[in-house]
């Protein structure tokens, strides 16, 4: 069963909570899906039942069309944030990890066309494989974190938090205006370009430069 862990695989001791995700936070990804640049961050939520360990085999849903990778920097919250201001944010962060926002793209496109919510495409069980978390104190600059995803040895996604339309601090301020963030909640900060279908047997390698490397397999 999934629990939040640090990079030594020790339990962090925070409960599992909601995962607040942001869509369209990198210009290159907005372009690749022909979406409009939003005036304010597009937010959606995955429940705690979406969490599973990124290092364990990633199971994709059968019979529902393409299941896409979206590799994102994940922020683990350690103290409550309600209608926060910028100076509240840093002390409320436990640490930084890497999460996959698995997306049933065909289902999402159908829901988008009908103007319906995305939960069936985004929030299903195990739709959020999550890495161990690097403690905030160990990160030199959370607003300048490089990360990448390779599938079968081929680079598919490359991003850096400094390229976000809304940086980590602004994003958490904005989220906390609508949703109180509680200890153990996670914020997924959006995906850069390079989303595409995952196939059974794919070897997945995710990296946060200097801090994390995760290898997994799609089953
Ligand atoms: Zn995403």
| pLDDT per residue as tens digits for the range 162-215 | 999 999 999 999 999 999 999 999 999 999 999 999 999 999 999 999 999 999
Q: What is the pTM of this model?
A: 0.96
Reduced to 3 states (helix: H, G, I; strand: E, B; else coil), residue 40 is coil
Centroid of ligand 1 to alpha carbon of 69 (angstroms) = 9
> 193 CA distance to ligand 1 centroid (A)?
10
CA of 43 to the centre of ligand 1 (A): 10
Report CA(103)–ligand 1 centroid distance (Å): 8
Our CA angle for 9, 140, 184, nearest 5°, is 45
What percent of the chain has a predicted confidence (pLDDT) above 70? 100
Model confidence at 39: pLDDT above 90: no
What is the structure's pLDDT at 40? 86
Q: Looking at residues 52-74, what average pLDDT do you find?
A: 96
pLDDT at 212: 98
Output the CA 38–ligand 1 centroid distance in Å: 14
What burial class does residue 62 get, using C-beta atoms within 10 Å of its C-beta: 0-12 exposed, 13-18 middle, 19+ buried? exposed
What confidence category does residue 38 fall into, taking pLDDT thresholds of 50, 70 and 90?
confident
For residue 190, what pLDDT is reported? 95
- Cα–ligand 1 centroid distance for 203 (angstroms): 20
Residue 71 Cα to ligand 1 midpoint, Å, equals 7
Q: How confident is the prediction for the chain on average, in pLDDT? A: 96
Per-residue pLDDT at 133: 98
pLDDT at 36: 85
Strands 19-23 and 186-188: parallel
Given pLDDT bands bounded at 50, 70 and 90, which one contains residue 86?
very high
Rounded distance, CA 10 to CA 93, Å?
Answer: 18
CA of 25 to the centre of ligand 1 (A): 9
Q: Output the CA 37–ligand 1 centroid distance in Å.
A: 15
- Note whether 129 and 198 are within 8 A (CB): no
- Confidence class for position 151, pLDDT limits 50, 70, 90: very high
């Amino acid at each position: 069963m999934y629990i939040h862990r640090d990079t030594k695989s020790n339990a962090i001791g925070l409960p599992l909570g909601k995962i607040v995700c942001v869509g369209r936070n990198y210009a290159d990804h907005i372009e690749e899906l022909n979406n409009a640049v939003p005036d304010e961050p597009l937010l959606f939520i995955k429940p705690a039942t979406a969490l599973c360990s990124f290092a364990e085999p990633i199971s994709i849903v059968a019979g529902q069309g393409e299941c896409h990778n979206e590799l994102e920097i994940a922020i683990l919250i350690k103290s409550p944030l309600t209608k926060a201001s910028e100076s509240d944010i840093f002390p409320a962060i436990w640490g930084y990890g890497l999460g996959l926002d698995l997306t049933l793209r065909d289902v999402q496109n159908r829901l988008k066309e009908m103007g319906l919510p995305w939960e069936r495409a985004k929030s299903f069980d195990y739709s959020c494989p999550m890495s161990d978390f690097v403690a905030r104190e160990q990160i030199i600059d959370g607003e300048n974190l490089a990360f990448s995803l390779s599938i079968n040895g081929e680079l598919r996604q490359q991003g850096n938090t400094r390229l976000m339309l809304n940086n980590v601090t602004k994003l958490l301020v904005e989220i906390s205006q609508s949703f109180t963030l509680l200890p153990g909640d996670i914020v997924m900060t959006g995906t850069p370009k390079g989303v595409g279908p995952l196939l059974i047997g794919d070897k997945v390698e995710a990296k946060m430069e200097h801090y994390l490397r995760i290898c997994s397999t799609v089953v």
